[in-house]
Amino acid sequence: MTPLADLPESRTGADGSAVVRLLSYNIRAMRDDVGALVRVIRACAPDVVCVQEAPRFFRWRTYARRLARRTELVHVTGGATACGPMILSSLRATVEEAEDVLLPRTPGLHRRGLATAVLRFGERARLSVVSCHLSLAGWERTEQAELLLDRLARMPGPVVAAGDLNERPDGPAFTRLAGRLRDGWAVAPWGEEYTSTARRPHQRIDAVLAGPGAEVLGCGVPAGLPGVTPELLGAASDHRPVLAALRLP
């Protein structure tokens, strides 16, 4: 397991390659301690943040802009327009494409969507990103995993999907995704594993999954990273975030 202090910092190589820090975080619509949330995100120094449960209702754009400003990031896409998933990025990223995708609605269940973007770092390193939050219903979750893979297949590589899968690694949807993509924690564990709940972590239902070309250098819950304490993690949301360092060609 990679020591906490050894997670690579963001950088761009002379050959055009790049190391990118990506954070996935279910923020529970910012209903918890927003100050703690901001401190956790800033301590992780991410280039990209894949948010789940972004504010979706009254004045949601104001809340999204406020979170971006306080974390020194910019809003790329998503929020209410993607039914919760959202993507933020640092100014290091150039946004080449961005689109919100609504998944099929099931009567009686919360509608889900995907926030998607193609980002460039430096002159040549690109990363296609999807922030997702899969259904609480198992059968629908499995269908959404297939739709997520179909979407990634149409995006330029390398690709990464990050989000709240609402399922443990042995579940059918998680297994399907990890069969086509590399589960960051499984291939390069770093930090801690369990993401839920924030105060009593006992299961991993949030993940960063990378496609070919995106090398996972380390991935896990950044508990113990300087500036990230158990108290902050417990106050910021009901989930703990997943931080990954990815090397792009």
| E strand intervals along 141-205 | 159-164, 182-183
Q: Whole-angstrom Cα distance, residue 133 to residue 186?
A: 20
- Predicted pLDDT of residue 157: 86
pLDDT-derived band of residue 2, with 50, 70 and 90 as boundaries?
Answer: low
pTM: 0.97
Checking if the pLDDT of 5 tops 70, the result is no
* Res. 161: pLDDT tops 70: yes
Strand 48-52 and strand 18-26: the pairing is parallel
pLDDT value at residue 4: 62
pLDDT tens digit sequence for 193-222: 999 999 999 999 999 999 999 999 999 999
**Residues 228-243: what's their mean pLDDT?**
98
What percent of the chain has a predicted confidence (pLDDT) above 70?
A: 98
Confidence band, pLDDT 50/70/90 cuts, at residue 224: very high
Whole-number average pLDDT of the chain:
96
C-alpha distances in angstroms, 216 versus 61, 133, 199, 222, 225? 32, 21, 27, 15, 18
Query: Percent helix, strand, coil in the chain (nearest 5)?
Result: 25, 35, 40
Q: Which domains does the chain have, with CATH numbers?
A: 14-248 (3.60.10.10)
Q: Helices 34-44 and 60-70 sit at what angle, rounded to 10 degrees?
A: 50
Over residues 75-121, the pLDDT tens digits come to 999 999 999 999 999 999 999 999 999 999 999 999 999 999 999 99
Residue-level pLDDT at 1 = 62
Single out the residue of 46, 45, 65, 47 nearest to residue 55, CA to CA.
65
